[in-house]
């Protein structure tokens, strides 16, 4: 297996009694766009800063390209960082800011000018050389910070919440731009964010952290469809969690009895019969159909036992979001289930309204079974 570019081995960071990062083992491949995702205070920024050399791990070590970074200060690492506040030097022009790192490397003046111009072109700030930071907008300052870091051609670029200070429209633009730049330049990006949409959209792989512990590292789709535990399932996207007992477990299928629901899965679950498990059902994977007195419930595949993967409910509330609608459906026992339905047609003859009785059904392939 080719050596990973970045390796965290048993990295732990304590501030006095407070444990910010608890024993992280993580590998990041060259060329990846890796996102560290988690709620505030989960330790992701601390982990990033340790990679940059701005914090020193209490235990463990970090390797970049096979080289142990212990004792190596930030100015000697092949890593550059785009800070959350951009940290653009206010008393220097854009040109001087970007050229700062090159000046330190004693790059001769003509080459320096070319590279600065290249970097400016890359972030689409051509012509802004002589401007001062206080003459730039937030988004432009961020691009200067990006250019300043990339111009040194580091092996790794670190981004600390790069889009959090931008307004919504700009954020969307920058998302695509950053991904394009990364592709063009081929540098490994490691980004820290608390916005899961951002992480899923931009990254090739994400690491989800909570309270200093790395919960799961996977591709965005794997994180979404195959969450490792309840925290990840809940943190990424919306989810309906059914807590229940593993009643039947075979090689090819399993049955979970949750309060009021019987959930039949089309694969085996590695767990003891009778154990407590959770079934995570994404709102968009639930089908909504009208329930009328006397009519039969929607059909289910033959292998599914009767009454499984089916729930009776009443629509209590709906949130119209334009391209989709979110329904809050009350099922037996008073429990609320969220269902998301794309508004495929402009006008439906029989749409769903409040207080409407409905059937909730789903495919046996849809639920993700969580053991923790």
Residues in contact with other proteins by CB under 8 A are 52-56, 70-76, 79-81, 83-85, 87, 89-91, 100-101, 104-105, 134, 145, 148-149, 152
CA gap 134, 333 in Å, rounded: 59
Q: Packing angle between helix 94-104 and helix 138-150, nearest 10 degrees?
A: 20
Considering beta carbons, is residue 105 or 348 the nearer one to other proteins?
105
Closest contact distance (angstroms) between CB of 27 and other proteins is 23
Q: Which of 255, 229, 223 is nearest to 241 (CA)?
A: 229
Closer residue to other proteins, CB minimum distance, 84 or 229: 84
Shortest approach of other proteins to residue 12 CB, angstroms? 13
Q: Which is nearer to other proteins, 89 or 295 (CB)?
A: 89
CB of 80 to other proteins, least distance (A): 6
Nearest-approach distance from CB 184 to other proteins, in angstroms: 21
Nearer to other proteins by Cβ, of 26 and 51: the residue is 51
Q: What is the closest distance, in whole angstroms, from the C-beta atom of residue 100 to other proteins in the complex?
A: 6
Give whichever of 51 and 208 is closer to other proteins, judged by the CB atom.
Answer: 51
Question: How far is residue 240's CA from residue 233's CA, in Å, rounded to a whole number?
Answer: 9
For other proteins, the closer of residues 105 and 349 by Cβ is 105
Closest CA to 317 of 287, 354, 272: 354
Residue closer to other proteins (CB basis): 80 or 361: 80
Residues 159 and 109: beta-carbon distance below 8 Å: no
Count of beta carbons in the 10 Å neighbourhood of residue 263 = 24
Which residue number, 55 or 249, has a Cβ lying nearer to other proteins? 55
Distance of alpha carbon 131 from alpha carbon 128, whole angstroms: 6
Number of CB atoms found within 10 A of residue 265's CB = 25
299 in Cβ contact with 333 (< 8 Å): no
Question: Which phi and psi (to 5°) does residue 190 adopt?
Answer: -120, 120
Can you read off the two tokens belonging to residue 332? 């037996």
Q: How far is the CB of 124 from other proteins (least distance, A)?
A: 22
Q: How far is the CB of 127 from other proteins (least distance, A)?
A: 22
Smallest gap, in angstroms, from Cβ of residue 58 to other proteins? Answer: 8
Min separation Cβ 111 and other proteins, Å: 16
Ramachandran angles phi, psi of 250, nearest 5°: -120, 180
Nearer to other proteins, 65 or 257 (CB): 65
Q: Are strands 254-258 and 324-331 parallel, antiparallel or unpaired?
A: unpaired
Contact criterion met (CB below 8 Å) for 279 and 360: no
Rounded to a whole number, what is the largest CA-CA distance in the chain?
A: 85
- The secondary structure of 51-104 as a DSSP string is HHTSS--SEEEEEETTEE-TT--GGGSSEEEE-TT----TTS-HHHHHHHHHHH
């Amino acid at each position: 297996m080719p050596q990973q570019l970045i390796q965290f081995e048993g990295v732990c960071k304590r501030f006095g009694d407070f444990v910010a990062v608890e024993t992280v083992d993580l590998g990041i491949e060259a060329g990846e766009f890796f996102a560290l995702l988690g709620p505030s205070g989960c330790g992701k920024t601390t982990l990033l800063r340790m990679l940059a050399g701005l914090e020193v791990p209490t235990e463990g070590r970090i390797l970049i390209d096979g080289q142990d970074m212990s004792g190596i200060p930030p100015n000697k690492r092949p890593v550059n960082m785009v800070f959350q506040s951009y940290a653009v030097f206010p008393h220097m022009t854009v040109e001087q800011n970007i050229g700062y790192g090159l000046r330190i490397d004693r790059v001769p003046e003509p080459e320096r000018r070319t590279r600065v111009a290249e970097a400016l072109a890359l972030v689409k700030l051509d012509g802004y050389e002589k401007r001062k930071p206080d003459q730039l907008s937030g988004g432009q300052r961020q691009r200067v910070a990006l250019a300043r870091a990339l111009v040194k051609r580091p092996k790794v670029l670190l981004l600390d919440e790069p889009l959090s200070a931008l307004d919504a429209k700009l954020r969307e633009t920058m998302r695509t731009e950053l991904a394009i730049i990364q592709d063009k330049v081929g540098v490994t990006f490691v980004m820290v964010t608390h916005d899961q949409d951002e992480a899923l959209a931009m990254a090739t792989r994400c690491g989800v952290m909570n309270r200093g512990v790395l919960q799961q590292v996977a591709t965005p789709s794997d994180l979404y469809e195959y969450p490792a535990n309840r925290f990840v399932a809940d943190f990424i996207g919306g989810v309906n969690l059914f807590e229940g007992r593993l009643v039947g477990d075979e090689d090819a299928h399993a049955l979970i009895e949750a309060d009021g629901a019987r959930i039949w899965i089309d694969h085996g679950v590695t767990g003891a019969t009778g154990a407590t498990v959770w079934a995570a059902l994404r709102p968009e994977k639930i089908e909504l159909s009208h329930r009328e007195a006397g009519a039969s419930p929607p059909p289910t595949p033959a292998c599914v036992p009767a009454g499984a993967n089916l729930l009776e409910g009443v629509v209590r509330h709906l949130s119209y979001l334009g391209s989709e609608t979110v329904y809050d459906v009350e099922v037996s026992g008073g429990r609320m289930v969220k269902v998301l339905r794309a508004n495929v047609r402009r006008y439906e003859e029989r749409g769903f309204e409040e207080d409407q009785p409905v059937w909730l059904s789903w495919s046996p392939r849809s639920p993700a079974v969580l053991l923790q």
